[in-house]
Amino acid sequence: MTYFAFSCAIVLACLLVGSIKRQQRLEKEWGRLKKKLGQSELKHEEDYSLDLQNLLDALPYPFFSINKEGVLNRFNSQARHIFGSRDILNRSIHQVFLDSAITSLLSKSLTELKPYREILRFPPDSVFSSQTPDKDSHWEIDIYPLSLGSSSREIQLMMRDITASVHSDQIRQDFVANASHELRTPLSVISGYLEHLTEEGGLDHKETSQKMLETMDRHLVRINRIVDDMLLISKLESDDSVPLNLAPFSIATCVQDVIERLDLVIKKQRSTIKVDVPNIQLIGDHFYWTQILFNLVENALKQNPEMQLQIHIYSELDQDDNFKIHIADNGIGIPANDLPFIFKRFYRVEKHHSQTQVKGTGLGLSIVKRAIEAHGGTITATSTPGIKTVFSIGIPHAYHDIDND
């Protein structure tokens, strides 16, 4: 029994020692595991934070996260882009945005925990001024509040620059107003004259009737021109590759034809046109080339009705054998701020459409540009108002044939 008890004690002791050792081993293992687990949790957190930042940076729009104290605690690379090198992290929204409209929206959302979506307009000197430096910019603001438990809250702000679409909407609205006005004026003249001529005895006075018919004809030409321009730009813009009737034609003769068509206006305005274009053959669509040159010369005359304008049309071949033709005038020119936009559809420098203003729909230069591009060419414009405005067309070698000189 004693032996048995002794043996049991030994076994128990061994077991105890074993279990203590195992316990120690287990504790050690557990410690190691905890450490590992801790690190991996930490790593997870780091990974998560990194993933989140990558995700935010991948957003195409500026994103900001603001804590309940109204302090910026996270933003993405698009947001960084707006502020450049300015230090904005951990700064209050007032210090960051410097604009009362946006900060009051953010504060409201923070206190009310309500989302807000608004379009805000910022003046050109604000941090949110976009590519058009002299114009107001327009941003769509999206604010989402997040409740992070009872005491913690945060708001997230996403911003989208919609300046370009607001401006193009404005341009489209101006076009509708311009085009309606441009069509309404000749239409009301024609309908007034027709009413008079169809009245009893309306045709009695032959000379007056003749004058009325001529005026009606002029106005019809104008209406046709507007409708043709609309059809032409939609044709040029609808096809990726505009079908061209390519054939050799003399560019010098084309210039002369255009001048002849505008002869009446040139004489009436006492303008002069100097042409230095050699008699070389271009390979192109004669119809489009006439349109291109007509629009450019007519624009110069149209913009300068009061002065005895000097227009110079000249050409050259550059080192790479590209053909260049320039249409220059010494008229009022184009302000630097408008220059980047003049080839856009519907864009007009003169926004109003009163009787006394220069007529137009803003389609002429967009037709010119598209037609030149269809020929594989380019057009640029430079202007020093009152001194020199030049439209320069470049045509690659494939579209001209010097050997046929």
Residues that bind ligand ADP (CB under 6 A): 295, 299-300, 303, 329, 331-334, 342, 347-350, 360-366, 389
126 φ/ψ sector (left φ>0, alpha ψ -120 to 50, else beta): beta
Nearest distance from residue 223's CB to ligand ADP, in Å? 15
Phi and psi at residue 75, to the nearest 5°: -155, 165
Nearest distance from residue 134's CB to ligand ADP, in Å? 16
Q: Which is nearer to ligand ADP, 95 or 168 (CB)?
A: 168
Nearest distance from residue 310's CB to ligand ADP, in Å? 12
Can you list the pairs that 212-219 forms with residues at least 24 positions away whose Cβ atoms lie under 8 Å?
215/189, 216/189, 216/190, 219/185, 219/186, 219/187, 219/189, 219/190
Q: Which is nearer to ligand ADP, 138 or 369 (CB)?
A: 369
Phi and psi at residue 319, to the nearest 5°: -60, -30
The answer to whether the CB of 224 falls within 8 A of the CB of 182 is no
Q: Which is nearer to ligand ADP, 109 or 299 (CB)?
A: 299
Task: Provide the 10 A C-beta neighbour count for residue 331.
Answer: 25
d(CA 198, CA 272): 42
Q: Which is nearer to ligand ADP, 285 or 329 (CB)?
A: 329
Q: Which is nearer to ligand ADP, 226 or 280 (CB)?
A: 226
Nearest distance from residue 405's CB to ligand ADP, in Å? 30
Q: Is 119 helix (H, G, I), strand (E, B) or coil?
A: strand
Nearest distance from residue 295's CB to ligand ADP, in Å? 6
Nearest distance from residue 259's CB to ligand ADP, in Å? 15
The answer to whether the CB of 379 falls within 8 A of the CB of 364 is no
Nearest distance from residue 87's CB to ligand ADP, in Å? 43
Can you list the pairs that 267-273 forms with residues at least 24 positions away whose Cβ atoms lie under 8 Å?
269/301, 269/304, 269/305, 269/307, 269/308, 269/309, 270/308, 271/301, 271/304, 271/308, 271/309, 271/310, 271/311, 272/308, 272/309, 272/310, 272/311, 273/297, 273/311, 273/312, 273/313
Nearest distance from residue 376's CB to ligand ADP, in Å? 21
Q: Which ranges of 59-154 does DSSP label H, i.e. alpha helix? A: 77-83, 93-97, 100-112
Q: Which is nearer to ligand ADP, 300 or 374 (CB)?
A: 300
Nearest distance from residue 387's CB to ligand ADP, in Å? 12
Calculate the dihedral angle through the C-alpha atoms of 316, 320, 321, 326, rounding to the nearest 10 degrees: -30
Task: Specify the pairing of strand 272-276 against strand 310-317.
Answer: parallel
Q: Which is nearer to ligand ADP, 362 or 377 (CB)?
A: 362
The answer to whether the CB of 144 falls within 8 A of the CB of 155 is yes
Q: Which is nearer to ligand ADP, 324 or 344 (CB)?
A: 344
Q: Which is nearer to ligand ADP, 126 or 366 (CB)?
A: 366
